[in-house]
Structures are given as structure tokens and as C-alpha cells.
Amino acid sequence: MPSTLFGKTARWFERVNASLLESLPCTKGCSGCCVGLFPVTILDRLEIQRGLRSFPDEHRRRIERAAAEQVTALTVAAPQLSANPFIDQWMEEDVDRIIERFEAWPCPALEPDGTCGLYEFRPLVCRSMGVPQDDGVRVSGACAVQTAVPLIRPSRALREEENRLAGMEAVEIETLRHRPGIEGEELFLPYAFIQDLAVGEQGAGSSSGESTTAVERHAHNAR
């Protein structure tokens, strides 16, 4: 059964935007944050996979091909991803290094006209991005597109709801962690579009005895 958290998060964002007099630029059609590599969770991946399964074959394959090309480049840049695509245990500076290297990458689901080819199934971060950051002292914009920060702050009730949603996300991720083959919670975005993330599997029909992962095989087959 699909998680209700994605719809709840989208509705929370709509209420925040309404409270800020519809001043947030992060709406359907803005692709400012759709370029650049970033981590997503296994919960996001589950929703993305649900969306891909619902698409016509041609649309799904186009997105999967784009993701597979990025996965291939990532495994060249960080060979350890071939054995395990999860990045939970990586040092923060190693994650940042890869993100900076591929900062010009478009999301595999980004359409040529700047729209999202996976909008109804987009990750949680894509649903909540754009709300100004508030540390209790200063309010700052969430992205480069947000050149003007609203003078109105989201209410305490909305911030408390944000915390509740984060707690729900943590619970659902912890539940998913107990599934077979899930060895982490976070992975780079392109891996969320790969159907089979099982790691350490022996490649079928390999005469050399070399081990290949399901991720590598999927990337090869999608070319």
C-alpha cells in the first residue's frame, strides 16, 4: 500500500505557501532544483518505482535510460557504489565531493520543457523544497531562485507539523530497512530509478567468475 506521507507533505507545503501569500517560487513548472545530484531515501525510491510501473513503456524506459547513464558515471567516479549503492556510511566530505562533481546533472525525470516527468510520484524533498529556512533568529531563502524571502514566517503550528512529518518519515524508513536486500537508508537520486538494488549478486552466465551487481546489469541493459 503506498505511503500517505507524500500527499500529506504536498498539502503541508500548499498550506505554508498560502500562509506566505503564495510567494514561494517552488511550484509545478519551476525546475531550479531539478538540476544537481542529491541523496534521496529508500522511501522516496519506493514511490518513484511505483510511479515508473504506472507509466507507458516508452516514457518509463526513457527515464530509466537517463538514470542508468548517470549510474554508470557514478560507479566510475566512486567504484564502491558498484558493490553497495547506499551512502549512509560515507563520510560527509565524500558525499559532497560527488555532489559537486555532478552538480550540472538534470534529474533523470526532468523533461526538455522543464517539467517533471514523475511529478505525482516525486520525492519528499521535492515536495517540501522552497520553504524559507528559519533558525529562530534569521530567515533565509531555500534556493537561488528564491531571491526575495517572505517577511511573514510560517506559523508555529506549521513548523510543528513539519516536525511530525519528519518523524513519520523516520518511522517508515526504519520499517523499510528490515526488508531483504536493503542495506541502507540513503542513495544518490539516479539509483532510485533502478528497479533492482540487490547488492553482491553473482552475474548469471559469468564464465570468468567475476561478480556483478544487479545495479550494474540494469545500467548495462538500459543503454
Per-residue pLDDT band for 204 (boundaries 50, 70, 90) equals very low
Among 16-30, 53-67, 139-153, 177-191, which range has the highest average pLDDT?
Answer: 53-67
Average pLDDT, the chain: 85
Q: Which domain holds residue 100?
A: 5-221
Q: Band the pLDDT of 181: cuts 50, 70, 90.
A: confident
Q: Give the model confidence (pLDDT) of 133-150 as tens digits.
A: 776 666 666 666 665 666
Residue with cell 527515464: 63
| pTM, 2 dp | 0.83
The tens digit of pLDDT for each residue in 87-106 reads 999 999 999 999 999 999 99
> How many domains, in total, are found in the chain?
1
